[in-house]
Amino acid sequence: MTKINADRQLIALLRQNARMPVAEIARKLGISRSTAQSRLEKLERNGTIAGYVVKLSYDYLAGQIRAHLMVTVSPKLAPKVFRFLDDLIEVRTVHSVSGSFDMIVIVEAPSVAELDSVIDKIGALDGVERTMSSIILSTRIER
């Protein structure tokens, strides 16, 4: 197994469980614990692994309403729109995209009414020219 392949497999294991013990990582990769620890530290040092995050349970997520919000923005006001979106706790992710929209915003709220309110806030923002939303019904694959 090459170092690059081992690093990719190590990252895949951490995506499943970021709190996986190094001994378990080593066992799953078929390498020594010290080798696994060394590779993990190297990935942290070189910035490949920038941090560890909370993965929410399916029960919690089932209580949330999520949507993809396609947004077209005025190029001159795009930085202002990004700052506004960054301040909204309901915004999970913002992707810049090519095509007829400029970004895809993933929003999440505990109710349809609150989600609607967030979508309205984004649509009313100075610089937002057009939006189109789609409610996420289920997630089939998430890594």
Residue 99 φ/ψ region, left for φ over 0, alpha for ψ in the -120 to 50 degree band, beta for the rest: left
Q: State the DSSP H helix or E strand holding residue 106, giving kind and residue range, or none if neither.
A: strand 103-109
Q: How far is CA 21 from the centre of its chain?
A: 23
Cβ–Cβ under 8 Å, residues 48 and 12: no
What is the C-alpha separation between 44 and 96, in angstroms, rounded? 27
What is the C-alpha separation between 43 and 27, in angstroms, rounded? 19
The pLDDT tens digits of the residues spanning 85-113 come to 999 999 999 999 999 999 999 999 999 99
The pLDDT tens digits of the residues spanning 57-70 come to 888 888 899 999 99
pLDDT number for residue 33: 95
The pLDDT tens digits of the residues spanning 4-38 come to 788 899 999 998 889 999 999 999 999 999 999 99
Domains of the chain: 3-45 (1.10.10.10), 58-135 (3.30.70.920)
Q: Is residue 2 scored above 80 in pLDDT?
A: no
| Type of residue numbered 18 | A
pLDDT number for residue 58: 81
pLDDT number for residue 49: 93
For 81, the token pair is 């729109």
For 115, the token pair is 């989600």
pLDDT number for residue 1: 59
